[in-house]
Amino acid sequence: MQLIDGKAVAEQVKQEIAAQVAAMVERGEKRPHLAAILVGHDGGSETYVAAKVKACEVCGFKSTLIRYESDITEDTLLAKVAELNNDPDVDGFIVQLPLPKHINEQHVIEAIDYRKDVDGFHPINVGRMSIGLPCFISATPNGIMELLKRYNIETRGKKAVVLGRSNIVGKPMASLLMQKSNPGDCTVTVCHSHTANIKEECLQADIIVAALGQPGFVKADMVKEGAVIIDVGTTRVPDATKKSGFRLSGDVQFDEVAPKCSFITPVPGGVGPMTICSLMKNTLLAGQKAIYK
- Considering the rule CB under 6 A, would residue 56 count as an interface residue with ligand GUN? no
The answer to whether residues 231 and 265 touch, using CB atoms and an 8 Å cutoff, is: yes
Active-site residue flag, 119? yes
Phi-psi region of 131 (alpha: psi -120 to 50; beta: other; left: phi over 0): alpha
Contact map string, positions 158 to 197, toward ligand GUN, x by CB under 6 A: ----------x-----------------------------
Active-site residue flag, 80? no
Active-site residue flag, 224? no
Tell me the residue type at 253.
Q
- Considering the rule CB under 6 A, would residue 253 count as an interface residue with ligand GUN? no
Q: What are phi and psi of 177, to 5 degrees?
A: -65, -30
Residue 241 CB, shortest distance to ligand GUN, in Å, is 26
Q: What angle do CA 25, 28, 32 make, to 5 degrees?
A: 45
The answer to whether residues 191 and 166 touch, using CB atoms and an 8 Å cutoff, is: no
| One residue of 5, 91, 117, 119 binding ligand GUN per CB under 6 A | 119
- Considering the rule CB under 6 A, would residue 125 count as an interface residue with ligand GUN? no
**Residue number, 174 or 277, with CB nearest to ligand GUN:** 277
Which burial class, exposed, middle or buried, applies to 86 when counting CB atoms under 10 A from its CB (0-12, 13-18, 19+)? exposed
**Residue number, 94 or 205, with CB nearest to ligand GUN:** 94
**Residue number, 261 or 273, with CB nearest to ligand GUN:** 273
Residue 166 CB, shortest distance to ligand GUN, in Å, is 10
**Residue number, 91 or 119, with CB nearest to ligand GUN:** 119
- Considering the rule CB under 6 A, would residue 282 count as an interface residue with ligand GUN? no
Residue 219 CB, shortest distance to ligand GUN, in Å, is 26
Peptide bond into 98 cis (omega under 30): yes
Distance of CA 145 to CAs 6, 122, 136, 230, Å?
12, 20, 14, 10
Element (H, E) at 56: helix 43-59
Q: Is the dihedral of CA 169, 172, 174, 180 positive or negative?
A: negative
The answer to whether residues 251 and 274 touch, using CB atoms and an 8 Å cutoff, is: no
Residue 270 CB, shortest distance to ligand GUN, in Å, is 15
The answer to whether residues 70 and 40 touch, using CB atoms and an 8 Å cutoff, is: yes
Closest-CB residue for ligand GUN? 97
- Considering the rule CB under 6 A, would residue 139 count as an interface residue with ligand GUN? yes
**Residue number, 32 or 263, with CB nearest to ligand GUN:** 32
d(CA 45, CA 76): 20
Name which of residues 88 to 117 contact ligand GUN (CB under 6 A): 94-97
Give the total of residues touching ligand GUN (CB under 6 A). 7
Active-site entry in 14, 91, 96, 117: 96
Q: What share of the chain is helix, strand, coil (3-state, %, to 5)?
A: 40, 15, 40
Name which of residues 2 to 41 contact ligand GUN (CB under 6 A): none
> Which positions touch ligand GUN (CB under 6 A)?
94-97, 119, 139, 168
What residues are labeled active site?
52, 96, 119
